[in-house]
Amino acid sequence: MPPPHPLLALTEAHRVVLEVLSLRLARGLLANAPAGDGHAVMILPGFLGSDGYSAAFRRYLARQGYAVHGWAQGRNLGPREGVLEALVERVEFLGSRYGGPISLIGHSLGGIFARELAREVPARVRQVISLGSPFGEGRWSGSYPARLFASLNPRDDLPIAEALLPTAPPVPTTAIYSKGDGICNWRTARQAVEAAHPCAQSIQVRGSHCGMTLNPAIWFLVAERLAQPVDDWRPFLPRDWSRLLYPACE
C-alpha cells in the first residue's frame, strides 16, 4: 500500500495552521458538545510527540467535565524500554484512583498503544478512540515515518503481536481517519469490518494528520463519544449539517 500523495504531505503544516485558526470559529459548536460524567481519560501522543502536543485538547476535555491525563512517558519513540509495561501500570493506577474504567484516546502511534492496552487490560478500559492510527494492513509501506520508526524499533524486537493489530480490541472502539492524511495512508487507520468488535466504528473527518489533536470537528466528535453511557455504547450517527464534517461512518 503506498503512502499518501506527496502533495498531502507537503501541505500538512499549512493545514495544521488552518485547523488551529478554525478552533476560534468553532467555539460555539464545541461549547454545545455533551457534558462529561467525570470519568478518567488518558491521551497518548503520536510518534515523536509528547504530552505538550495535546495540551489544548486536554484542556478542552477537562472543561467538558472529564478527569484528563497525559501519558507521562515523555517523547513517544515507540514501544521500547518498558513503555507498554509502564502504561499498563498507569491505566491500573488511574482506574483505581477514579473508581472505574478509563477512556483511552491515541493520536497515530498513540492510538495503536491504546488499542493494545485495551487488549491487555480490557476490564480497566471503557473505550478506545484512535486518531489517524495506522493499525491496519499495509501500515509499513503506507506511512512516511515507518523507516524511522523501524530504525528505532526493529520489527523482530517489537513487544506487540503484529498479526493482531488490525483486530479491534474487546472494548468499544472508534477509529477516526481522514482522506486528507498526509502522513499515513487513510486506509490503514480505518477499522476493517471483518476484524471488528461489535461495538466498533470508523468515522471519516476532514483534515490533516498532524492537526488531529487541534481539529474542532474531532474535538466535538471525541466529546460526543466520551459521553456514551458505559454500558450503552451506540454508533455515531451524523445528522443534517454534521454530514459535512463527518462524510462517512461505518
| pLDDT tens digits for range 162-193 | 888 999 999 999 999 999 999 999 999 999 98
Compute the distance between CA of residue 107 and CA of residue 137 in angstroms, rounded to an integer. Answer: 18
Inside any domain, residue 78: yes
Helix ranges (H only) for 74-205 are 83-98, 109-120, 146-152
Residue numbers of the domain that contains 106: 6-231
pLDDT digits (tens, 9 = 90+) for 232-250: 999 999 888 888 999 999 9
CATH number, residue 172 = 3.40.50.1820
Compute the distance between CA of residue 153 and CA of residue 165 in angstroms, rounded to an integer. Answer: 16
Residue reference for cell 454530514: 243
Give the total number of structural domains in the chain: 1
CA distances from 123 to 98, 191, 197, 236 (A): 14, 22, 15, 23
pLDDT for the residue numbered 108: 97
Inside any domain, residue 238: no
Residue reference for cell 491525563: 69
pLDDT digits (tens, 9 = 90+) for 16-71: 999 999 999 999 889 999 999 999 999 999 999 999 999 999 999 999 999 999 99
Inside any domain, residue 39: yes
Inside any domain, residue 69: yes
pLDDT for the residue numbered 132: 98
pLDDT digits (tens, 9 = 90+) for 58-108: 999 999 999 999 999 999 999 988 899 999 999 999 999 999 999 999 999
Inside any domain, residue 88: yes
Nearest to residue 36, comparing CAs of 242, 232, 247, 228?
228
Inside any domain, residue 245: no
pLDDT for the residue numbered 29: 85
Nearest to residue 186, comparing CAs of 130, 237, 224?
130
Inside any domain, residue 241: no
pLDDT for the residue numbered 137: 94
Inside any domain, residue 120: yes
- Rg (C-alpha) for the chain, rounded Å, is 17
* pLDDT confidence tier of residue 155, bands split at 50, 70 and 90: confident
Nearest to residue 131, comparing CAs of 38, 49, 210?
210
- pTM of model > 0.85: yes
